[in-house]
Structure 1
Amino acid sequence: MSCAHRLTRISAITGGLCGLAFVTVLGAAPAFAADPFLYVGGPGCSDSGPGTQAQPFCTIKKGATVASAGQTVLVASGTYSETATVGKSGTAGSPITLRPANGATVTVTGGTSGFVVSSKSYVTISGFNITDTTSYGISVKSSNHIVISGNTVSGAGTPVSGQQAAGIYLKATTDSTVSGNNTHHNSDHGIYLSTDTSETTVQGNQSSFNANEFRRNANGIDVIGPDNTVIGNILHDNEDSGLQFYPGANNSFATLNVTYNNGDHGIDNLNVTGGRLIGNTVYHNCTSGINVEGTSGDYVVVNNIAVDNAVYPAYKGIACSRRAGNIGIWDSAPASTVVDSNLVYLSKAGTMYVFGSSFTSLAAMKAATGQEQHGLQANPLFVNAAGGDLRLSQGSPAIDSADSGVDGEQLVDIVGTPRRDDPAVPNTGIGPRAYDDRGAYEF
């Protein structure tokens, strides 16, 4: 049968040639957009069903496997004993999102990990309680544009050599965000930016009580990838340091972080270059409040508050170093490091500052090094240091005294309060605004 005979009715409608009519008909086929929502959990669920609200999937892993760009997987309240591995990538305008349904409380437990993302792009995992996994609570590898937000992650791994695991783990991942999570009581770091993770922002998280237990090693946040930003996190009572930048973490930036009662440093920097530590508050850490050592160099350390670090004898039976000081710039670092407009204070005898050599007062350090010409040695008047409230009280010398011109100074503080002038305090700061406050909190 000729084409003309086969398409007589089509040609009659279109008035076109046979071949043209064929193309026109194909082009006119309607396009059906995917349902923007997939549902998990609840009555009548089936992983062999369509994942609709009427017939949801039973498992998160089924939703995570089949979700396509632009789809959101909504999970009903409940406890899900599984590991959910994301099967596809989203796009810049149409990410894949996994989250609890509105008002739902969802716990993911007992699997190797709660969530796994590998070689994917534009995926968001938000709002889950992930606990008691044998490996990382959330594992992201070789991916980009991933958002991990608002999750609580605890109990990852086992505190035994070779079995420990971080709460949130990113490896070889770029252009991603880890924000608003609470990582606690994991057997390794709370949040770990591992090898080749870069251009990633870690913001507004809390990380506490993470511990290997068999050795001092677990940090609140551990970074060994370059060009990352760590901003506005609260890190306390971790076995090792609150925030650590180790080899590979070159050109990283830490600002507005609050780190206290950790078993080693408040912020530790070893064998890394090009770091900026701006406007952090570090208190009562076992060793230095801020530590820059080894082959580290080209650091800028400005507008921080460091109080009562390296003054108590031990952390969970591990001796603390009483010679490390509130701020310690060691080894090759002093030659290329700038420190200024920091506030340091000790309520008991100890090392106030190290800049190549140790000093018991800021005045002695200034005279010997020429650094810290706008530095202050004074009690910052925290609201309730013993209770972990490191906000500033009225009359604090940290008020209206920072350097607002330093690269990396923020327009708001850790809780989003804009920089503002306290009319009761003379402005002694420098830069375009003379009223920015030192440390993570604006009074």
Structure 2
Amino acid sequence: MVRLTRATVLLTAGLVTVLGMPAVSAAEAPADLFVNNGTNAHCSDTGPGTQSVPFCSLQPAVKVVRPGQTVRIAPGAYRGALTIDRSGEQGRPITFVTDTANAAHRAVLGDALSLDGASHLVFRGVTARNAKIERSSDITMETSMLAGEFVIGAGSADVRVSRSTIGSGQIRDGAQRTIINRNNINSTASRPAISVEDASGTAIANNSITSYCDAGISVTGASTGTSLVNNVVFTERAQPRCETPLITRHGLRVAQSAAGGTQADYNVLYQQTGITDAAYHWAGTDHTTPAGFREATGQGAHDFVNPADFTAAVVDSADATAPGALASPDFVGFAPIDDPGVANTGKDGGFLDRGARESHDQLSTVTMSVDQPWAPVGTKVEVKASSNSRWPAGMAYSVDFGDGSSPVVTRQGEAAAAVASHVYSSPCACVVKVTASNATGKKVHTEQPVKVTAAGALSAALTVVQVLPTSDSPTERVSPLTVRADPAASTTPWPLSRADVDFGDGTTQQVSDLSQVTHTYRTPGDYNVVLTLQDSKGTTSTSRHLVKADYAASGYVAIEPFRFYDSRDDTPVMPGGTPLWMSLPIGFNQPEHPLSASMSAVVLNVTVTGATQDTHLTVWPDGQDRPATSNVNVRAGATTSNTVTVPVGNSNGALMQLNSGWASIIVDFVGYYQPNIGQRFTPLAPSRLLDTRTAGGALPGGQTRTVKVAGVNGIPADATAVALNLTGTGATENAHVIAYPDPARRTATSNLNVEPGKDKSNQAIVPVGPNGTITLFTNSGSTHLVLDAVGYYGKDGRTLFKPVVPKRLADTRATGKLAPGATTTVSGLPANAVGAVLNVTATDTTGPGFLTAYAFGGTLPGASSLNTLPGATVPNHVTTPVGSGKVSIFNSWGGSNHVITDLLGYFTNP
């Protein structure tokens, strides 16, 4: 607690006398004036000086300011000399103040400030260069910076300079009752830091003065009634800027003419090592010690010269009753405070410090440690707290243990830390809060969570769930095959020394705080996830959970197709036998096409061209082994394309590999599947939407044809995309065909590559365009086109898509060819599959014909799934209904075929 002494009471009572009359009430004060020369201030020197239209410079404000007004000056430099001869009135001063909340930012009042014949003025928070006060009275300067030459003279009276930074000051030429207090004075000029000459009633109190080239304080001439009290004067080594020869650097110099009327006491004079000048020069005689000075002059009874313990000499040792002494905050804002570790040696037991600065404990932080941050009910928990206070003996700590119990108040005293203890009676996730307070009432806080558990045995418990995306944001990434393990239900009475989750694929994550952790598997499968806990008592417990990592059922998002990979732009040809990683356009991977970051599978149109030999291409998710499947089969020198559906790999990519030879690869992005996003799919028995051989004629090169696809053949009018089997026949030239939604914006992609004399087909998933249509285009020659619908996506769709890592379901090369007119049954599909996405390949064909895939047990539709060619291997992406986990594939009467069936995914009811 702060002790109120007689000195404090006297000092408080004298404040009105020192600082002037009380301020005028706000109701009586006229409006403020504003000065702001900032770039966007809209200032005018002929304007009203309001906040919205301030003056640009100071002189216009000085000309019109009236008693009781405040001139608010924005921080900045205001060039040119400034003369102030305006005056306020007793009790109604004119105030000049820097208009900012930041004390470090000040307004600079001109290159030279002159007060001449002015009175009742207040300056606060400003900077003045080479300031001079003459023939003026009742002037207050505080919390300011007075640089260069600062002069008070020519009969000025009652000038007060406090709580400021001063270069050097001169009080002279008949000045009366000047008070210089609580200032930081640092002089490199070749004159005393503070000089008093022919000035009466001057009080220099509680200043911190540093002088390099001359005396710290000099009093000369007829300076009667001078008071030099509570100052700390440093005499430092000479700086290069000092004149030579150096002037003798006394800490305190009082001439014979002024000695009789000068009082000096409670000063600390500190001379830097190497300075041999005497600390005092009084009435023509040097004195080096306070004892000698006191014996010779009767002054300085409480002075120190070069004290061994500087803090003890300065702190709580001043005369609070001396003329000019202030109990208000010092020049950096600290108010006087009683240091509990220092005896009060000031006059009458006061605790005002000497010099401009008040010693404070600098309290800003508090730290704490908890010996048992995790323990069962009934355990004694001990908290140790300490702070950065320079006065630990006066610190008090309130420890709130966070369970509703009363805070424990303790003191640090002389110990390294304050200690408080508590026993929790029930489990909780509590927060211990420590509040530290010093003798002035300043408080700082800190807190730390603690875990209080139920008493009992260690028991591990684990839940594991699949993590699914909730949006199609390009920034929120949720990878397929991601799970979340939560060990929070474990019973852990004591702190854990080991806590980890083994995900069963060689990956282990620590969960020392029993928080949830996520993990993404590289491949689907069954994994045994194990949580292992070991506590500080050596007890171990485990929990096991069998996890099936699988691709989640997903909806389809149809987009306007775009080309995102073309090896001809970079590496012209791709070598066979080497896998090539392909970055999929996920999230912002393709900045011009931002898409969802949480796709589970993508639909691509892959074209292989310029093959050096007969070969095939396989596409599969990255991070997984290459499957024994194929997606595109191509002859040497030919161009072939196929739709590919492939899950997204763990690095947002896919791998592709040619079996042999070399070729160029072109990839168009068609759409994607994602859980909780997109449209459901309804599979249909193939139904014909267009056959140019019977209606409309062949499509000429460079021409388009619009086809109605929604609102016909069982496809609802609000379908968002349709799955189609697109067949080209009777082509006159090698060309490509594009199917796209908007007839006004043809995409730079392709769906089918046609050749003269060959029937070729490819499946396409096309967004529905205006009025339920799509548009077809071929680039050259002419070709007949056949369009068969195999399903649609829309709001009333019935099924969701389950991606799978491509796998082979059937290969007749192991069982015998499929004869003309025969049907083979492909099994191995999940029992809940109602539709399937297959890659069907015909090879070793003896005659031209076609294959048709349809649901096992269903009726053979009058449409084809792919067209076969003698001597050619032909693949196609096929979407077909499923019956009882099986698919039937019918071979036309054109010739015998080997048929290879690969599974890319399947549709299931939600």
User: TM-score range with shorter-chain normalisation?
Assistant: 0.5 to 0.7
Corresponding residue for 1:230?
161
Q: Distance in 1 between matches of 2:204 and 2:115?
A: 22
Match runs of 1:318-333 below 5 Å: 318-319=243-244, 321-333=246-258
Q: Distance in 2 between matches of 1:302 and 1:275?
A: 11
| Deviation (angstroms), 1:341 | 0.8
Tell whether the 8 Å contact from 2:35 to 2:56 is kept in structure 1 after alignment: no
1:253 lines up with 2:179 in the alignment: yes
SS of the residue 2:260 aligns to: helix
Q: Distance in 1 between matches of 2:44 and 2:116?
A: 18
Tell whether the 8 Å contact from 2:166 to 2:185 is kept in structure 1 after alignment: yes
Corresponding residue for 1:176?
121
1:71 lines up with 2:31 in the alignment: yes
Among candidates 116, 136, 139, match of residue 84 of structure 2: 139
Match runs of 1:358-369 below 5 Å: 358-369=286-297
SS of the residue 1:175 aligns to: strand
Tell whether the 8 Å contact from 1:323 to 1:358 is kept in structure 2 after alignment: no
SS of the residue 1:423 aligns to: coil
Tell whether the 8 Å contact from 2:30 to 2:68 is kept in structure 1 after alignment: no
Letter of the aligned partner of 2:116 in structure 1? Answer: K
SS of the residue 1:363 aligns to: helix
Percent identical residues: 20
Change (3 A) 1:334 1:85: farther
Gaps of 5+ in 1: 1-68, 88-97, 158-164, 211-217, 237-241, 382-392
SS of the residue 2:81 aligns to: coil
Tell whether the 8 Å contact from 1:227 to 1:250 is kept in structure 2 after alignment: yes
SS of the residue 1:332 aligns to: helix
Among candidates 107, 124, 132, match of residue 70 of structure 2: 124
Change (3 A) 1:400 1:155: closer
1:439 lines up with 2:379 in the alignment: no
| Deviation (angstroms), 1:182 | 2.1
Letter of the aligned partner of 2:356 in structure 1? Answer: A
Normalised by the length of structure 2, the TM-score is 0.32
Change (3 A) 1:325 1:243: same
Q: Distance in 1 between matches of 2:304 and 2:231?
A: 10
1:338 lines up with 2:277 in the alignment: no
Letter of the aligned partner of 1:439 in structure 2? Answer: G
Match runs of 1:18-417 below 5 Å: 70-73=30-33, 77-78=38-39, 84=45, 98=49, 100=51, 108=56, 113=59, 115-117=61-63, 120-129=66-75, 131=77, 133-136=79-82, 139-144=84-89, 145-150=93-98, 152-154=106-108, 156-157=110-111, 165-166=112-113, 169-183=114-128, 186=129, 189=130, 191-195=131-135, 197-208=136-147, 210=148, 218-219=149-150, 222-224=152-154, 225-236=156-167, 242-263=168-189, 264-308=191-235, 311-312=237-238, 316-319=241-244, 321-347=246-272, 348-349=274-275, 350-356=277-283, 357-379=285-307, 395-414=311-330, 415-417=332-334
SS of the residue 2:295 aligns to: helix
Tell whether the 8 Å contact from 2:46 to 2:55 is kept in structure 1 after alignment: no
Q: Distance in 1 between matches of 2:66 and 2:180?
A: 27
Change (3 A) 1:226 1:397: same
Pair member with larger Rg: 2
Q: Distance in 2 between matches of 1:276 and 1:108?
A: 38
Q: Distance in 1 between matches of 2:158 and 2:35?
A: 35
Letter of the aligned partner of 1:134 in structure 2? Answer: G
SS of the residue 1:323 aligns to: coil
| Deviation (angstroms), 1:408 | 2.8
Q: Distance in 2 between matches of 1:261 and 1:75?
A: 31
Change (3 A) 1:354 1:99: farther
| Deviation (angstroms), 1:359 | 2.2
Tell whether the 8 Å contact from 2:162 to 2:182 is kept in structure 1 after alignment: yes
Corresponding residue for 1:428?
345
Change (3 A) 1:302 1:416: same
| Deviation (angstroms), 1:272 | 0.5
Q: Distance in 1 between matches of 2:314 and 2:72?
A: 36
| Deviation (angstroms), 1:202 | 1.0
Corresponding residue for 1:47?
none
| Deviation (angstroms), 1:100 | 4.8
Tell whether the 8 Å contact from 1:141 to 1:173 is kept in structure 2 after alignment: yes
| Deviation (angstroms), 1:404 | 2.0
Corresponding residue for 2:425?
none
Q: Distance in 1 between matches of 2:251 and 2:164?
A: 20
Deviations 1:264-305 (A, max 9, x none): 222111111111111111013421111111121211111111
Letter of the aligned partner of 2:176 in structure 1? Answer: N
| Deviation (angstroms), 1:232 | 1.0
Q: What is the Cα-based RMSD across aligned positions, in Å?
A: 3.3
| Deviation (angstroms), 1:81 | 11
Q: Distance in 2 between matches of 1:338 and 1:83?
A: 51
SS of the residue 2:314 aligns to: coil
Tell whether the 8 Å contact from 1:305 to 1:342 is kept in structure 2 after alignment: yes
Gaps of 5+ in 2: 1-28, 100-105, 360-910
Q: Distance in 1 between matches of 2:201 and 2:79?
A: 36
Letter of the aligned partner of 2:261 in structure 1? Answer: S
Letter of the aligned partner of 1:406 in structure 2? Answer: A
Corresponding residue for 2:747?
none
Deviations 1:204-235 (A, max 9, x none): 10123x3xxxxxxx23x645411121111111
Letter of the aligned partner of 2:335 in structure 1? Answer: P
| Deviation (angstroms), 1:120 | 4.2
| Deviation (angstroms), 1:123 | 2.9
Tell whether the 8 Å contact from 1:274 to 1:297 is kept in structure 2 after alignment: yes
| Deviation (angstroms), 1:116 | 2.9
Letter of the aligned partner of 2:81 in structure 1? Answer: S
Normalised by the length of structure 1, the TM-score is 0.63
Letter of the aligned partner of 1:375 in structure 2? Answer: D
Corresponding residue for 1:16?
none
| Deviation (angstroms), 1:154 | 4.4
Change (3 A) 1:118 1:329: farther
| Deviation (angstroms), 1:371 | 0.9
Deviations 1:142-183 (A, max 9, x none): 5542111117454845xxxxxxx33xx322222220111123
Change (3 A) 1:181 1:365: same
Deviations 1:16-41 (A, max 9, x none): xxxxxxxxxxxxxxxxxxxxxxxxxx
Tell whether the 8 Å contact from 1:399 to 1:437 is kept in structure 2 after alignment: yes
Corresponding residue for 1:7?
none
Q: Distance in 2 between matches of 1:362 and 1:85?
A: 60
Q: Distance in 2 between matches of 1:440 and 1:369?
A: 26
Change (3 A) 1:400 1:257: same
Greater strand share, 1 or 2?
2
Letter of the aligned partner of 2:142 in structure 1? Answer: Q
Q: Distance in 1 between matches of 2:296 and 2:34?
A: 61
Tell whether the 8 Å contact from 1:279 to 1:303 is kept in structure 2 after alignment: yes
Tell whether the 8 Å contact from 1:78 to 1:107 is kept in structure 2 after alignment: no
